[in-house]
Structure formats: C-alpha cells, structure tokens
C-alpha cells in the first residue's frame, strides 16, 4: 500500500461515510460475539483449559469494546454532513428525517445497549430477577442493530455482507440452542444441591446460596 493511498483516502470527502459503514459491520460482529459469550457464560460448561470466568471476562470486555465502537459509528453518522442526522437522533428513535425507521432501529439498539451495559456493570444494585429481565433485552438490541444495518446499509445486499449477517444470526441461534439444551441439566443440579443441604446446622453450600440468589 503506497503512502499515496492514505493521502488520497484522507482527502476523499466520502471518508466519514466509508468509516461509518466499516464500523457498522465490525460493530455487528462484535455485538454478535458479545451476545454469544453472554449466553454461553450462563451455561455451566467449563474446563481446565477454558474456565467459566474467561467466558464472562471476554463477554464483559467485548461489550465495552462494542460501546466504544458504537459511539464512533454513531458520531461518524452525525459528523458526516452528506445526510441530515442530528445528535439527538442517536438517542431518540424514529423521529429522524433520514430513514426514520431504519435509523430508529439503530437508535433503539443503542439505547438498549447503553441500558444493558450500564446495568451489567452495576449488577449488585439490582434484584436478580429485575437484572435478568433487563439483560434479556440485549437480544432485542442485537436484533434491532442487525435489521438497522440491513435496512440502511449501502453494502447490506452484497453477498459478503449478507454472508456476515447470516453467520451472525447462525451464531446467536446456536448459542441459544446450547443454552436451552442445558436448562434441564441446570435445574437438575439445582434440585440435587437443594436436597443435599443439611437443615438447622447453619451450613449452606455455595451452590444453593447461588441458586437462591438467582431465584430471588
């Protein structure tokens, strides 16, 4: 790649638009990874080579990276003056002048991502059931982002782009399938640990304390 390539690229008045499109695609991939790791971190599967905390840490870090990229993606759309996207269109969905429906879905996704990431970072402040209900909206956030990209994107009908979207849907569907298939096993584990709990001794195994907290 010659130095002229960069000089020309930075002088191109479509640079912001290219960056907006590029960050959109990478964002979809990162959000997909984050959703999949989130789903898999609830599955009790772990090994010496891949302990459960690794999945949880990766999920957390990927979510934070997605937020940083989301800020960049939305900011590029606002700064680029080719179409009229105002700063409040980034937070208030469906009221924009440009592609209100498709852009609104991106905004809705952004709002849901902000809520899930912020509540995710302050989990202990919430009752377990409330926290879980909020966190489940991340599926909706991911789906809204996916449909937004497909509806508004310049490249979204290109074969490579459709391929990426189909792969993302497949990965999330696969992760959900794994989660659903282990639900029965998880309930069985919980029941077994409940029945093993000695009564009146003041002793309570960590496993059942965890499940009680989860069922609060």
Q: With binding defined as CB under 6 A, does residue 55 bind ligand HEM?
A: no
CA angle (88, 90, 93) in 5-degree steps = 85
Q: Is 77 in the site for ligand HEM (CB under 6 A)?
A: yes
Q: Which two tokens stand for residue 7?
A: 């000089």
Q: At what angle do helices 159-196 and 206-215 cross, to 10 degrees?
A: 120
Of 108, 110, 98, 131, residue with least CA distance to 215: 131
For 117-135, give one letter per residue: b (16+ CB within 10 A) or e.
bebbeeeeeeeeeebeebb
State which of residues 37, 39, 73, 116 lies at the interface with ligand HEM (CB under 6 A).
73
> Is position 153 an interface residue for ligand HEM (rule: CB under 6 A)?
yes
Counting contacts by CB under 6 A, is residue 33 touching ligand HEM? Answer: no
Residue 168 binds to ligand HEM (criterion: CB under 6 A): no
Element (H, E) at 89: none
* Rounded-to-integer distance, Cα 34 and Cα 1, Å: 33
Closest approach, Cβ 185 to ligand HEM, in A, equals: 32
Own/partner long-range contacts of 118-122 (Cβ < 8 Å, ≥24 apart): 120/60, 120/63
Q: Which is nearer to ligand HEM, 7 or 154 (CB)?
A: 154
Site string for ligand HEM, 83-122 (x = CB under 6 A): --x----x------------x--xx-xx------------
CB 74 to ligand HEM: min, Å? 4
Q: What is the DSSP letter of 202?
A: S
| Smaller CB separation from ligand HEM, 39 or 152 | 152
Q: Quick one: which of 37, 62, 67, 145 contacts ligand HEM (CB under 6 A)? A: 145
Please report, as ranges, the residues that interact with ligand HEM according to CB under 6 A.
20-21, 24-25, 27-28, 31, 70, 73-74, 77, 85, 90, 103, 106-107, 109-110, 145-146, 148-149, 152-156, 161
């Amino acid at each position: 790649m010659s130095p002229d390539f960069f000089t020309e690229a930075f002088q191109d008045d479509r640079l912001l638009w290219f960056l907006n499109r590029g960050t959109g695609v990478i964002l979809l991939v990162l959000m997909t990874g984050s959703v999949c790791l989130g789903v898999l971190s609830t599955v009790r599967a772990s090994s010496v080579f891949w302990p459960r905390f690794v999945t949880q840490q990766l999920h957390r870090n990927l979510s934070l990276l997605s937020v940083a990229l989301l800020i960049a993606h939305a900011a590029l759309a606002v700064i680029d003056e080719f179409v009229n996207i105002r700063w409040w269109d980034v937070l208030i969905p469906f009221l924009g002048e440009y592609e209100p429906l498709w852009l609104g879905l991106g905004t809705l996704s952004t709002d849901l991502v902000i809520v899930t990431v912020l509540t995710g970072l302050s989990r202990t402040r919430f009752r377990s059931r409330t926290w879980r209900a909020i966190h489940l909206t991340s599926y909706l956030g991911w789906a809204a982002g996916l449909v937004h990209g497909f509806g508004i994107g310049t490249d979204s009908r290109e074969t490579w782009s459709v391929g990426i979207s189909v792969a993302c849907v497949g990965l999330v569907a696969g992760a959900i399938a794994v989660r659903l298939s282990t639900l029965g096993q998880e309930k069985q584990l919980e029941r077994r640990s409940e029945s093993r709990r000695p009564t009146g001794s003041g002793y309570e195994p960590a496993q059942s304390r965890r499940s009680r907290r989860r069922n609060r």
